[in-house]
């Protein structure tokens, strides 16, 4: 596996162009202005190398010389430590733990329903309601902080923004009381890093 990875002279990311958590990793790469080769692949077009590099046969894979990472949260923390400016994690241990916990909840409470959201059945309806209700529940947070539970932009924002970008695509409509969430979303979408890393599929979600 190491020999295969070492053939790549620059950092390489394999990702599905429509995957929201892969989008989050690309946001981190863009925020850090990291020189990276991004290859959008599907299960049909994936190179044979990935079968050796990713033991779970997932598409999202980051290769940095002899290092291969296939968990998105580990990818994002590695990138933040490897390229510390601008920092996307707090410095002190308590705040870092809180940031990890926030991202855990984003993944569990919101991304846990993503696979169901594009279907048209009873389970997808329940998933849409769950995402909508979770976003409504945290809406007051965005009246107290500029970013998600923080006054500093962080990996938590990188995780949340791709899902908010896809709300219309998922058929999720937020009520008026979610206005703080929508205002926050527009601020995230306006960041240069966010705009620069959009795939053609992702740009199409708002250009349709």
Q: For position 1, what pLDDT does the model report?
A: 45
Q: For position 2, what pLDDT does the model report?
A: 46
Q: For position 8, what pLDDT does the model report?
A: 63
pTM of the model: 0.92
Q: For position 122, what pLDDT does the model report?
A: 82
Q: What is the crossing angle of helices 155-165 and 200-207, to 10°?
A: 60
> Long-range contacts for 49-56 (Cβ within 8 Å, ≥24 apart)?
49/4, 50/14, 52/1, 52/4, 53/1, 53/4, 53/5
At residue 62, the 3 state secondary structure works out as strand
Ordered by where they begin, the domains of the chain are 2-82 (3.40.30.10), 93-191 (1.20.1050.10)
In terms of Cα–Cα distance, which of 36, 71, 33, 14 is closest to 191? 33
Chunked in runs of 10, what are the mean pLDDT values of the chain (208 residues)?
A: 57 96 98 96 90 89 95 97 96 95 94 81 88 93 93 97 95 91 96 96 84
Q: For position 206, what pLDDT does the model report?
A: 82
Q: For position 128, what pLDDT does the model report?
A: 92
């Amino acid at each position: 596996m190491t020999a295969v990875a070492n053939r790549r002279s620059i950092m390489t990311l394999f990702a599905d162009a429509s995957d929201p958590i892969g989008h989050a990793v690309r946001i981190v790469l863009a925020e850090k202005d990291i020189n990276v080769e991004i290859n959008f692949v599907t299960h049909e077009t994936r190179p044979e190398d990935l079968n050796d590099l990713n033991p779970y046969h997932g598409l999202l894979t980051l290769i940095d010389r002899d290092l291969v990472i296939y968990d998105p949260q580990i990818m994002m923390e590695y990138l933040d430590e490897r390229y510390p400016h601008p920092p996307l994690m707090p410095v002190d241990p308590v705040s870092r733990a809180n940031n990890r916990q926030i991202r855990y909840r984003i993944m569990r409470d919101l991304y846990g329903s993503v696979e169901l959201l594009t279907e048209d059945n009873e389970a997808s309806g329940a998933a849409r309601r769950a995402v909508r209700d979770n976003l409504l529940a945290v809406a007051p947070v965005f009246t107290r902080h500029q970013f998600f539970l923080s006054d500093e932009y962080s990996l938590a924002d990188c995780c949340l923004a791709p899902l908010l970008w896809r709300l219309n695509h998922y058929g999720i409509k937020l009520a008026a009381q979610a206005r703080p969430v929508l205002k926050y979303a527009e601020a995230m979408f306006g960041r240069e890093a966010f705009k620069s890393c959009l795939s053609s599929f992702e740009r199409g979600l708002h250009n349709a």
